[in-house]
């Protein structure tokens, strides 16, 4: 393994300056020198000259670059904060400049596909677990990095930027990644927990987005708190079964990255996934909604991937299945709700 020989403190790198990347960069800058990466030169110039990005303030000490090689040379620890739709491309851009001494922690709640050239979700007949990649699996597949972690939890960017109290989970198979994430991010207003089940933590952050879309739809229909309580509790059970089928643990779903994030996003008008469901219930089409959103609602792609997976392995996930029919077929939200109300759940909890 290549090692670094330098007593000089290294900068911490942040890849991506969307709302979450900006929030994390500002939090890191309270203790460390930070350099952020942005693809567009005009964004880099704006950050370096006026310390702003898309109307959001950045700590004046944060520098920006559009050069992956420069970031990798200056920073031994990188936080990847890129939407899942652009994650693979971003990792491939950085891969030539990464070494085993680099530590990578990502904050992306999405899935990627490992398909044959020319294949996509519409053409692939069966979608196996080996064809579905969490973001840590993308990093391990595409780079020589070894020490990989993820950041997940109820972390709505708007609240983090306002320095409101919150917590997150740093998950990794490597304890040093967890300890480093805690050292860099923990503060009086931000608690950082550790978890060795990185796949379970990643899946929790991914799967709750499906339930958040459904929760937004319930709110859009004006169906009240009882219905939301029903959805969140059944959604948690569905998340447990899906996580187990995909290689995660029950414990991670029951933790901060699972139920903690689930409750937050199912109740937040600032959640992009909640907003998709809310606007669907108000009569907008999915295409209209996605065309007018500033940032990606990860749950939409997740619904497609998970629906294809459960059809392949033959398990039932009624919320996901019906949400897929609402988003990509012609099922109305009202009919989906009627189906779920009549679905023959016979046992309340069956995984403890």
Give me the domain span that covers residue 124: 11-196
Whole-number mean pLDDT of the chain? 93
**Which residue reads 């046992």 in tokens?**
347
Same domain membership, residue 192 and residue 204: no
Active site residues: 208
Domain boundary, last residue among 148, 164, 196: 196
**Which residue would you say has higher pLDDT here, 3 or 204?**
204
Q: What is the pLDDT of residues 69-118, one digit of tens each?
A: 999 999 999 999 999 989 999 999 999 999 999 999 999 999 999 998 88
Q: What is the pLDDT of residues 270-315, one digit of tens each?
A: 899 999 999 999 999 999 999 999 888 899 999 999 999 999 999 9
For residue 317, give every residue at least 6 positions away whose Cβ sits within 8 Å of its Cβ, in sequence order, or none.
238, 241, 242, 306, 310
Domain boundary, last residue among 141, 173, 196: 196
Query: Count of domains in the chain?
Result: 2
149: left (phi over 0), alpha (psi -120 to 50) or beta: beta
DSSP state of 258: I
Is 160 a residue whose pLDDT tops 90? yes
Looking at residue 5, its pLDDT comes to: 47
Roughly how many angstroms between the first and final C-alpha of the chain, as a whole number? 42
Rounded-to-integer distance, Cα 128 and Cα 229, Å: 32
Q: Residue-wise over 179-216: b if at least 16 C-beta within 10 A, else e?
A: ebbeebbbeeebbbbbbebbbbbbbbbbbbbbbbbbbb
Sign of torsion over alpha carbons 281, 286, 292, 294:
positive
Looking at residue 305, its pLDDT comes to: 96
Same domain membership, residue 165 and residue 22: yes
Torsion on CA atoms 197, 201, 206, 208, rounded to nearest 10: 130
């Amino acid at each position: 393994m290549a090692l670094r020989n330098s007593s000089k403190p290294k900068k911490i790198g942040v890849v991506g300056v969307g709302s979450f990347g900006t929030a994390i960069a500002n939090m890191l800058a309270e203790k460390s020198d930070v350099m952020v990466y942005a693809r567009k030169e005009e964004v880099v110039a704006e950050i370096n000259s006026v310390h702003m990005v898309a109307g959001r303030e950045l700590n004046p000490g944060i520098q920006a670059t559009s050069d992956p090689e420069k970031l990798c040379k200056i920073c031994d620890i990188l936080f990847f904060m890129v939407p899942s739709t652009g994650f693979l491309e971003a990792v491939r851009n950085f891969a030539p400049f990464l070494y085993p001494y680099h530590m990578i922690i990502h904050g992306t709640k999405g899935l990627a596909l490992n398909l044959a050239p020319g294949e996509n979700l519409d053409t692939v007949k069966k979608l196996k677990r080996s064809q579905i990649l969490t973001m840590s699996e993308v990093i391990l597949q595409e780079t020589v990095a070894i020490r990989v972690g993820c950041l997940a939890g109820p972390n709505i960017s708007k609240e983090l930027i306002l320095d409101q109290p919150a917590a997150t989970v740093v998950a990794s198979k490597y304890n040093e990644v967890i300890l480093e994430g805690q050292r860099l991010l923990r503060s009086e207003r931000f608690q950082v927990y550790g978890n060795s089940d990185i796949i379970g933590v990643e899946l929790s952050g991914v799967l709750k987005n499906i339930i958040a879309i459904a929760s937004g739809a319930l709110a859009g229909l004006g169906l009240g708190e009882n219905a939301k309580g029903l959805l969140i509790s059944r959604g948690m059970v569905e998340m447990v079964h899906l996580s187990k089928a995909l290689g995660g643990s029950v414990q991670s779903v029951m933790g901060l990255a699972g139920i903690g994030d689930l409750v937050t996003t199912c109740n937040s008008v600032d959640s992009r996934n909640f907003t998709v469901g809310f606007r669907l219930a108000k009569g907008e089409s999915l295409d209209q909604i996605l065309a007018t959103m500033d940032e990606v609602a990860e749950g939409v792609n997740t619904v497609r991937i998970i629906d294809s997976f459960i059809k392949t392995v033959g398990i039932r996930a009624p919320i996901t299945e019906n949400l897929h029919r609402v988003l990509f077929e012609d099922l109305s939200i009202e009919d989906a709700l009627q189906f779920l109300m009549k679905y023959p759940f016979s046992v309340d909890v069956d995984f403890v």
